[in-house]
Each structure stands twice: as C-alpha cells, then as structure tokens.
Amino acid sequence: MTTSSGGWVRVPSAVRLSLRASGFGLIREIHTMALLSRASAWSWTSTSMRSLQPKIVGWWRNSEMSGRFWNNPYFVQYEDLLRRLHGLMAAGQGDAEEAEAARDEMDVSWRHLSEEERARLRGLSAELYMIEDDEVFEPGAPGEQSPERLKADLEEAWRGGRWEDLLALLRKGDFFGAPDRVARLRARAYQELGHDEVARLFMEYAASLRPAAATKP
C-alpha cells in the first residue's frame, strides 16, 4: 500500500479484489446458514412444508457452487472487465484504448481461472451479445433434441432451480420465446448464481424491449 499526495492510502487492486471476494463469500455463507436453519425448522411443521426441502437444498448447492467462483479475485475481476468490455462494444467503442486495456487485463486474469470458472464466463460472454442484438447461438449437433424437447428441458431446469442448465439451453436457439422473456430468464438465473450486475443488465434490456413485462419472471 502507498500513500497519495493527498494523504489517502491507496490499496493495490489485487488486495481490493481479495477483500471483495472474501466479503462475498462470508455474506453468502451467513445467508446460507440462516436459510438452512429456517429450512430445518420448517421441515418439522407439516408434510407440505417438508416438500419444500428439495428446492431449498438445490438453492444451497447453487449458492455453494457460485461461492467457489466469487472467492477467486481473478474471477471477480474478469467478470467485471467482461461487462465493461461488452458495454464499450455496445457503444461502438470496441476498438477504443479503454477496450484494449480491458482485454489485456482479462488475459492476465484468465490464466488464474479454473476450467469450471472459464466455462461460466465463456457462457456469459456469449450471452452478453444479446444486449448488443448480435447473439450467435450454438450450432446444433447431429441428432440433437427437437425444439419441443428442449423447451420441456428448459421448464424442468426452471422448476428444479438448475440455473446453469437453463442458461446452457437458452444458448441453443431462439425458440424459447420472445427476446424479452429470454432476457428475464437469464436475469433470474444469473441473480441466483450471484451475478447481480449481469442480472440487472438483462432486466434493463428486457425493459427496453417490453417495459410492461420487465418485472415478470
């Protein structure tokens, strides 16, 4: 740490990211423990309440999984830079100096990510092109399921709280409904996975397409 001429203490960016990530992890752990305590109490009240336990356990597993990502400061940094880069590209500044600087920083962070973290961010990068109205869907594999089957799989993923599966399905084509609905589905999934700012971007995009429906899941 260094002291500026104005007397302010400058904290290195790596330290700030570590503190931020640690804070996220602690908050998620406390919130999860509180929820599980309530879930334990609910499970003894009635048979109908006990039916909620699979959904609660599913939420806890998602929270635990996303916590592993957020505890890595390089993941936090890359996600932030990725959002910034796509914002610049959407504004027609993809070749600007700021965009190139973001790409350079992303290259450094990428080397410190696990394959699981990279997979999450690759998917996010592909989906953010939706906000630029330039999304390219994944090519269909030979013998892949029909759109009707994929829609059924999407409904199952939604009901089961399998948010990563839901996101992966939405990348397979444009047959899951109107763009504002897809944006709202992505917003909900990313909110559940801890990407609050990404969720906000997709909700704002949904609102720009269909303001009256922007708050619906």
Residue 10: CB atoms within 10 A of its CB come to 10
Strand ranges in the chain using DSSP code E only, listed in sequence order? 2-3, 9-10
Kindly report the pTM of this predicted structure: 0.67
Q: Cα 89 to the chain's mean position, in Å?
A: 19
Kindly tell me the burial class for residue 74, based on how many C-beta atoms sit within 10 Å of its own C-beta (0-12, 13-18, 19 or more): buried
Task: Return the pLDDT at 143.
Answer: 67
Over its length of 217 residues, how does the chain's per-residue pLDDT go in tens digits? 444 334 433 334 443 344 344 444 443 443 333 333 333 332 323 333 333 333 333 444 444 444 678 999 999 999 999 999 999 999 999 999 999 999 999 999 999 999 999 999 999 999 999 999 899 998 876 667 788 999 999 999 999 999 999 999 999 988 899 999 999 999 999 999 999 999 999 999 999 998 755 455 5
- Residue 44 has what pLDDT? 28
Q: Residue 175: in which H helix or E strand, if any? A: none
Distances 84 to 77, 98, 100, 198, 213 between C-alpha atoms, Å: 11, 9, 11, 11, 26
* The pLDDT value given to residue 147: 87
Domain residue limits, the chain? 10-71, 147-213
- Between the alpha carbon of residue 120 and those of residues 8, 114, 144, 192, the distances in Å are 37, 10, 22, 14
CATH topology assigned to domain 147-213? 1.25.40
pLDDT at 146: 87
The C-alpha atoms of residue 39 and residue 56 are separated, in whole angstroms, by: 7
Residue 190: other Cβ atoms inside 10 A: 23
